Structure formats: structure tokens, C-alpha cells
Amino acid sequence: MAGEPQDDCLFCKIVAGTIPATVVRETDTTVAFRDINPQAPTHILVIPKAHYKDAATLGAQAPQLAAAVLAETQAVADEEKLDSYRVVFNTGSGAGQTVWHAHAHVLGGRGMQWPPG
């Protein structure tokens, strides 16, 4: 069923608490935690608690949940006192997605280039 936890999913395990993470915010439907391999002074992942394989699937199948994830990226940026920051949803392996549970990267605390690599 759409959104059901997957046994082989790292981020479902973080949601379940069976793999530890440095959680910075939690709502009924989302969790935000620090990336284990930070690419900026602030690098936080915001995920829906429900399992959707990528941002495209999340947006199509659960648009209210996608909106909740987006709202949390802003809440995280506020808590981290970021006035400029980048929100990234790598979608597909060619774009660098490695974990197949939708997640927003919130990156900030340093200058950034455009276009991204």
C-alpha cells in the first residue's frame, strides 16, 4: 500500500528508531535529522514518515505530505538561523539519489554556486 514502511529502507528504520539519527525536528508526519556526511555547515534531511521512493512519487501520491515536508524545510532553516539556503530533492540515480525514501536536503551556512554540479 502507498506509504507503507519498507523493511529494507534506511530512512524507514530511522523513522522507526531502529537506526539512530540526530533528529532536530519531528512532526506527526515528518522527521528532520542531520545528514551523516554533511556537504555544508548545516545539512539536514527532511523526510516524510511514510515511505515514498522519491519526491516525484511523494508529490503525485501524497501532495499534502509533500507540502508538509516543504513547510518543515523552512522551519529547519529558521531554527538554524539560515537566511539563505538551498533545498534539494535528488530524484533518480542520475541526479545523485542514493536513498530511495523521499527526502529534502536543506543546505546552508556557506556560499553556493549555480548551476550545481
Q: What residues are labeled active site?
A: 103
Residues with Cβ < 8 Å from 56, sequence gap 6 or more?
Answer: 91
Quick one: cell of 91? Answer: 530524484
x/- mask, ligand AMP, residues 16-35, rule CB under 6 A, reads: ---x-x-----------x-x
Q: Taking CB within 5 to 8 Å according to partner kind, which of Zn ion, ligand AMP, none is near residue 99?
A: ligand AMP
C-alpha separations of 38 from 34, 44, 57 in Å: 8, 8, 25
Range 11-30, binding Zn ion (CB under 5 A): 11-12
Among 61, 74, 97, 109, binds ligand AMP (CB under 6 A): 97
